Structure 1
Amino acid sequence: MNIEQTVSAAVAGLHLGNTFTFDNLRHTVQDRRHRRLRIVELADLDAHDGLCAALLSTDAEDFVLHARSDSALHRQQFVLHELAHMILGHCDGDDCAVEEALLPNIPPYTRARLLTRQDLDSETEIAAESLADRLAAGIRGSVFAESAYSEVFG
């Protein structure tokens, strides 16, 4: 797997251009997956607890659950990482199904795999983080472009 090629193809496949808003990205992901996307902060959790974010899916909705952080950019990166997993097709099977994550009798290893970023050096995690970085750059570019436009044209 060539991660750079995979990420570049994923970005191009979104058809968002070089700059876009978070809302544009969210709507694109929802449309591609044919289900609603809900992003929920888990107020009682902190990134220091080892849980940054989790992606859970039902037939009708996707949920990105993320830890609290004082940094808006940190929270955004949590969410973009999970969106990247969706965009890259890492959650197209049962791995992110809500019923698998919420049943109390699932093995602890499975729960840990779903709820934490373990094995950060795996190709899947590296690709998701690389895509999240590219998505963040596109969102930042949109903010800067709008700001420059306002400064020049009023």
Structure 2
Amino acid sequence: MNIEQTVSAAVAGLQLGNTFTLDDLRHTVQDRRHRRLRIVELADLDTHDGLCALWFVADAEDIVIHARSDSALHRQQFVLHELAHMILGHCDGDDCTVGEALLPNIPPYTRGRLLSRQDLDSETEIAAESLADRLAAGIRGAMFAESAYSEVFG
């Protein structure tokens, strides 16, 4: 299956329709993963550091930590990219385990996620960004549907 087919199947599998809110998406991801999902901005993390967001898997919850940005859309894209990894099942199971010798005090799942982020041209990263773009379009569609935007701007 190619990336576009994978992304389309993932969007359809969410069963959110064409428009939805970020809260709708967050609740759906929580329900599907049977885990609490927290999204936290880390004020000291800046995109100039080369890191936009991280997905940590704790014992009972998923935590997405994202960098600060003056643009709300930019921050949203950071978060959507990490949610896309969850939705696509990236790193589920043992796919991302890294030898304990490298980072013994960090859980294997988290080690794998942190270390695998270096390959931005991988199919996994491209699929996550493509899905994040599709999710952003659904959220934008909900914002426009809930407002008089189309009436005003056509």
Q: What is the distance in 2 between the residues matched to 1:137 and 1:64? A: 20
Cα 1:116–1:123 change in 2 (3 A) is closer
* 2:82 matches 1:82: yes
User: What is the root-mean-square deviation in Å for CA atoms of aligned residues?
Assistant: 2.8
Q: Which amino acid aligns with 2:119?
A: D
- Are the counterparts in 1 of residues 144 and 150 from structure 2 also a CA contact under 8 Å? no
Cα displacement (A) at 1:28: 0.1
- Are the counterparts in 2 of residues 52 and 116 from structure 1 also a CA contact under 8 Å? no
- Are the counterparts in 2 of residues 52 and 117 from structure 1 also a CA contact under 8 Å? no
Q: Which ranges in structure 1 are unaligned for 5 or more consecutive residues?
A: none
SS at match of 1:76: helix
Cross-structure match for 2:114: 114
TM-score, with structure 2 as normaliser: 0.84
Q: What is the distance in 1 between the residues matched to 2:70 and 2:60? A: 31
Cross-structure match for 1:103: 105
TM-score, with structure 1 as normaliser: 0.84
Q: Which amino acid aligns with 2:4?
A: E
* 2:28 matches 1:28: yes
* 2:41 matches 1:44: no
Q: Which amino acid aligns with 1:49?
A: D
**1:60-114 deviation digits (Å, cap 9, x = unpaired):** 1000011111111110000000000000000312548xx997827x9xxx96961
Cross-structure match for 1:146: 146
Cα displacement (A) at 1:150: 9.6
Cα 1:117–1:70 change in 2 (3 A) is farther
Q: Matched residues, percent identical?
A: 84
Q: Which amino acid aligns with 2:105?
A: L
Q: Which ranges in structure 2 are unaligned for 5 or more consecutive residues?
A: none
Cα 1:66–1:149 change in 2 (3 A) is closer
Q: What is the distance in 2 between the residues matched to 1:101 and 1:63? A: 19
SS at match of 1:141: helix
